[in-house]
Amino acid sequence: MPNPTSANTNEELNTAKQVRPENVGALSRAQLTSGAAASPEGHDVPGHDHSAHDDHEGHDHGPPGTRPYLAPALSLGLLLAGLALDYYATVFFTGSVRLLWYGLAVGLVGWKVMKAAVLSIPSGNVFNEFLLMSLATFGAFALGEYPEGVAVMLFYTVGELFQDAAVNRAKRSIRALLEIQATEVIVVRGYQRLVLDPKAVQLGDTIEVRPGEKVALDGTLTTGPASFNTAALTGESVPQTKQTGDVVLAGMINQEALVQVLVTATYQDTKLAKILTLVQHAVGRKAKTQQFITRFARVYTPIVMALAVLLVLVPLLVVDDYVFRTWLYRALVFLVISCPCALVISIPLGYFGGIGAASRAGILFKGSNFLDVLREIDTVVLDKTGTLTQGVFAVRQV
């Protein structure tokens, strides 16, 4: 998810490195219209799509530099050392010492989960996997089963880390594909030529584009004729010749002479910027399967909680040798194994991974729902514009 879906999209794109247009997936002319480039509805990043945090609020798939594996590693070390001390019945490892030891182990990996469980209450998302894991851990500690309480949080956290790694890899692939915006532009003001950030350019300014450079902003050509490579936008391998007064779009590459362009759209309003925003928010356009899983999780989790409570209370009425501790332990086990994480993670993560894998091959998807549409395709018709080729010819035989 880096973040091709970050709120700082423009800032991230502004610092992007330029890549060759032939490495970028082709988009049809229809997609360059303002209607097609409009922002998608919503902003949802289902690295996993739990009912408690559909929009990943407070649940960042952070960058590798944050050392996400340090706390789980320390927790695992404390858990293994504690199990060894328990096994050898060490004299000092009893009572409050043992509680503090395992409490530290669970705190290293569990405090974020418990915090998320508390913060989700005001929003009404009470029944979620954070609450399930927290209850299971507190229950295990209440029963004196400290190692099991630590293990619940530790294994959950490790699973989240693996998921985060997969999401971040897909996000990096998408972000690399989208790094096609120019990061600086030459603006002609009077007799001065200023090198500015494209965001600082105003409507009506004249920008200068040298041969081999990308056009940074949409505008009209004031010096012509000129030839432009439009492959990054249209997939056309053959350069297009533009005359004075013709529209040129950000992302096109000037092929030959020095040209000037009168700016008609600001940085955030260019067709290219809208396309990039559309692709970055692609995961927000959910497929039907994802929508079903979201609705299912919101119903499933409260049912699991209710069944766990019944698992403690019903045996009291029907079992002769009822032992509260035993049935509470069984209810806690039931909570852990019934947590919907695996179910609600797999579907959204599968779609997100599909979009990321496609981006590595130079293919841009506007939403997860389009992955499902591909299943219904039985015929593909291609023209000769280089959509699947680079338009570079070579002698095969003499």
Radius of gyration of the chain (CA): 28
Active site residue 55: no
Q: What is the DSSP-derived secondary structure letter of residue 239?
A: P
Q: Are 30 and 276 in contact (CB under 8 A)?
A: no
CB atoms within 10 A of CB 57: 13
**Which residues make Cβ contacts (< 8 Å) with residue 82, sequence separation at least 6?**
93, 98, 101, 102, 105, 146, 147, 150
CB atoms within 10 A of CB 96: 8
The pair of structure tokens assigned to 239 is: 């350069």
Query: Chain-centre distance of CA 294, in angstroms?
Result: 17
CB atoms within 10 A of CB 283: 31
Of 89, 171, 181, which Cα lies nearest the Cα of 360?
Answer: 171
Which position among 320, 321, 378, 383 bears the catalytic label? Answer: 383
CB atoms within 10 A of CB 186: 17
Q: What is the DSSP-derived secondary structure letter of residue 215?
A: P
Q: Just list the catalytic residues.
A: 383
